[in-house]
Amino acid sequence: MVGRVHDPVQLQAEGQVLIEALSTLHCSWGKTLTSLGPPEGVRDGGLVAPAEMWGTGGRGAEGREEHWAVPEGALCLQASPSFVCRCLMDDETFNENFTNQKKPRKTYLCYEVKILDGDTRVPLDEDKGIVHNKGADQPGQPRHAELFFLDRIRSWNLDRRLLYRLTCFISWTPCHTCAQKLAMFLRENSHVSLNMFASRIYSRNDYEAGLRTLQAAGAQINIMTFKEFEHCWENFVDHQGRLFQAWDGLDIESQILCKKLKAILQIQQN
């Protein structure tokens, strides 16, 4: 019988959720992965295990797809030296949160980390991941996706002798407070650079000043175009082999937002 991969054990401390490494992992190419059984109520939460973790044909032991959710802000951690579990969004979650004409309440942040060594870029063990905010309707204090992301970066203890590039694809530009905290991190860590692509512009509470502060700290801030949406689809979505299909008005909305962001940031440059 085909083995099943389930949700790891959840741990929560001081508002930050962590995922324990998968246990009883039996991994080889084309073979079965097994793990702990899932707690109740954690399926179909928007993040799903990648196809490599399903067993044969991407389906569970009972012949149906089995999605499991990761708690707010949490990531999948390495379960063994040879296997890294990376969580993926399902296509519905991607479309709901990244379609640039919609106004979702959540913020999703997909990130990539690379080491810069001349013209070569060497990925880390945790070179990709997804975080999203914890809303007021959920247990514990609300928390923005950018703060979960900063927690994740700090936990790596990046070597100051090396240069790192963080690339983010985020559904909303940072609010004023998060932009300030990202800027502070960049000023304190000159060996880290940030390149951010946003689906849409968050426009409340002095957001323009926050974005200008972030840019002044060295961050590159851009609006997502077809190229970046396609990249996210290919690398952070459980697309089941389907190609990215642009929605009506994607390019027009991107152009409008690009002009708006450029006007905001040019004030800083002038």
Catalytic residues, which ones? 146
Q: Which H helix or E strand runs over 227?
A: helix 226-236
Going by C-alpha positions, the residue among 18, 140, 36 that lies closest to residue 75 is: 18
Distance between CA atoms of residues 174 and 196, nearest Å:
10
Could you tell me if 266 and 259 are in contact, meaning their C-beta atoms sit under 8 angstroms apart?
A: no
Q: Would you report the helix, strand and coil content of the chain in percent, each value rounded to 5? A: 30, 25, 50
Written as six digits, the tokens of 26 are 């039996």
Q: Which amino acid does the sequence have at 165?
A: R
Q: Measured between alpha carbons, how far is residue 161 from residues 49, 135, 181, 190, 238 in Å? A: 34, 37, 23, 10, 36
Residue at 213: amino acid letter: T
How far apart CA 249 and CA 253 sit, in angstroms, is: 6
Structural tokens at position 58: 């991407």
Residue listed under structure tokens 């502060």: 213
**Alpha-carbon dihedral 86, 61, 71, 29, rounded to 10 degrees:** -10
CB atoms within 10 A of CB 42: 16
Q: How far apart are CA 211 and CA 265, in angstroms?
A: 7
